[in-house]
Amino acid sequence: MTILEIHNLYKKIKGRELLKNITLVIDKPGTYGIVGRNGSGKSLLFKTIAGLFVPTSGTVKVFDEIIGHGHFPKSFGALLDTPGFLPHYSGFRNLKILASIQNKISDKDIENVLTFVGLDFNDKGPVRKYSLGMRQRLGIAQAIMEKPKLLLLDEPMNGLDEFGVAEMREMISNFSKQDITILLASHNAEDISLLCNEVYKMDAGDLAPHSITTDRML
């Protein structure tokens, strides 16, 4: 079974060509880096893989199922943009509400994943009082809590201090050891070189293989 298969993906919005005939096939677990400047198309590519945007032309398949037109990936998790949560509820309550959609995990599973990302599941404080780094951790918890086989992480180190970045790198490394396939977008060349098996570069909507040892990665 192919994990991710993109063929001739093209996306045009308001007359602008934002993704240009992208082709990418991932057929084995690993961590795959996507680098590129702001506006290069990384986030739009991730959102299209997630089924949030429909291609103008071309196809996206996740685990051999076509994505788009109301079809979303299965066994999939994502951290896209700044995580959005109900601001007056606790982190645990937010995850419990999200988990109730599919009813695949228990309260104990939610407690475990919050502990795993470094948050206190007993904390009753509302998410609106969380720091940016705490929100990012909660976003990671939401992305991984149902044990996905494909994980999209768009700038997961945003808002984290040096210690938090080190912890996040360790988490991502541990995910890859569990046969989870990760697509990681990061502006940080060190993140990419430390974590990724293969690297691709986005440039004005085009995607091409990129050397992991290149000094100037963006």
The pLDDT score that the predictor gives to residue 191 is 87
Is pLDDT at 154 greater than 80 in this prediction?
yes
Distance of CA 2 to the CA centre of its chain: 18
Question: Closest Cα to residue 77, out of 18, 117, 120?
Answer: 117
Tokens 């569990």 locate to 178
Residue 212 confidence (pLDDT): 65
* H helix or E strand, kind and range, residue 177: none
Total length of the chain: 218
Quick one: CATH architecture of 1-75+148-218? Answer: 3-Layer(aba) Sandwich (3.40)
Q: What is the mean pLDDT of the chain?
A: 90
The fraction of the chain above a pLDDT of 70, given in percent, is 97
pLDDT exceeds 90 at position 4:
yes
Confidence of residue 213 (pLDDT cuts 50, 70, 90): low
Buried b (16+ CB within 10 A) or exposed e, 99-137: beeeeebeeeebeebbeebbbebeeeebbeebeebbbbb
Model confidence band, residue 145 (pLDDT cutoffs 50, 70, 90): very high
Q: Which residues of 74-84 are buried (b: 16+ CB within 10 A; e: fewer)?
A: eebbbbbeebe
Helix axes 107-116, 91-99, angle to 10 degrees: 130
Enumerate the domain spans of the chain.
1-75+148-218, 84-147
What is the pTM assigned to this prediction?
Answer: 0.89
pLDDT, tens only, 20-60: 999 999 999 999 999 988 889 999 999 999 999 999 999 99
The pairing of beta strand 150-154 with beta strand 181-185 = parallel
Residue 214 has a pLDDT of 43
- What's the average model confidence in pLDDT over 112-135? 92
pLDDT score of 173? 87
Quick one: pLDDT at residue 215?
43
